[in-house]
Amino acid sequence: MSAAPGSAGGAVLSPRAEGVTPSSGARTAMLAMEGVTAAYGAVEALKGVSIHVEPGEIVTLIGANGAGKSTLLMTIFGSPRARSGRITFEGRDITGLPMHQIARAGIAQSPEGRRIFPRMSVRENLLMGAQAMGVDPAPGLEQAFTLFPRLKEREAQRGGTLSGGEQQMLAIARALMSRPRLLLLDEPSLGLAPLVVRQIFSAIRTLNAETGLTVLLVEQNANQALRLAHRGYVLVTGRITLEGTGAELLARPEIRDAYLGTH
């Protein structure tokens, strides 16, 4: 069935469904988008995008403002729906599914702007992450508090009173509560101090290394995102223009000019 990541030795937690290590050669992409187009009304935001994310990878999607990065993530989640093309997750077509069913298939997202529940306590926010899936929240809570000890200190505090960085930690921890196999992260560094961005990125790396969680990360902060990711895609006005490993992309002059600032 699923091609979940293999060894998870010394893991904080392993993902929900223990998968079988894919046999060499028969590697199916965990997530694949094939020629996906999406539009808001008459405005085409994605013009035939094809990407794939392999199990256990961190893949980043970089691009300028308005390139369609967030749209791409939201299209995976079915809002907006893909006008054409196909999106598969672990071999299953999820193109037309309603949002909550896509979430239940094993994909979680920390949406753009964090979108935590401001009036609910940190603990309640986390429980909401586990609730819809009917997952036991206890291990997820433990993982969240191990990963972000700050959230443990803030457990009874309301989401809306947290700082920006803490809210981002909460958004990621809440997404992880459902024990997803694929985590979509939309601009986790947005509006945060460099120190906090480092904390969050290192948390993502830890998760990936220790639990084998697959991550698709959308970032404007191309420099750090490419350093973190195994592979990256560059999105320009709704089209993928470049693909490569993080190091390859970092080395390319046009990337340096466009997204990293020239020195």
The residues of the shown chain that bind another protein, judged by CB under 8 A, are 12, 77, 79, 99-101, 103-104, 108-109, 111, 115-121, 123-124, 127-129, 131-133, 146-150, 153-158, 160-161, 163-166, 174-175, 178, 192-193, 195-196, 199, 202-203, 205-206, 209-210
Nearer to another protein, 84 or 161 (CB): 161
Q: Alpha helices of the chain — where are they, by DSSP H? A: 69-76, 99-104, 122-131, 137-147, 149-153, 164-176, 194-211, 222-228, 246-251, 253-255
- Of 12 and 64, nearer to another protein (C-beta) is 12
**Residue tagged 């443990």 (tokens):** 152
Minimum CB–partner distance for residue 108 and another protein (Å): 8
How far apart are CB 217 and another protein at their closest, in Å? 16
Q: Minimum distance between the CB of residue 60 and another protein, rounded to whole angstroms?
A: 18
Q: Are strands 239-245 and 231-236 parallel, antiparallel or unpaired?
A: antiparallel
- Decide whether 130 or 240 has the Cβ nearer to another protein: 130
* CB of 26 vs another protein, minimal distance in Å: 29
For another protein, give the closer residue by CB, 10 or 253.
10
Residues 6+ apart with CB under 8 A from 79: 99
Which CB, 2 or 240, lies closer to another protein?
2
CB count in 10 Å sphere of residue 153: 12
Closest by Cα among 143, 138, 152 to 207: 143
Distance in angstroms (rounded) separating the CA atoms of residues 7 and 211: 8
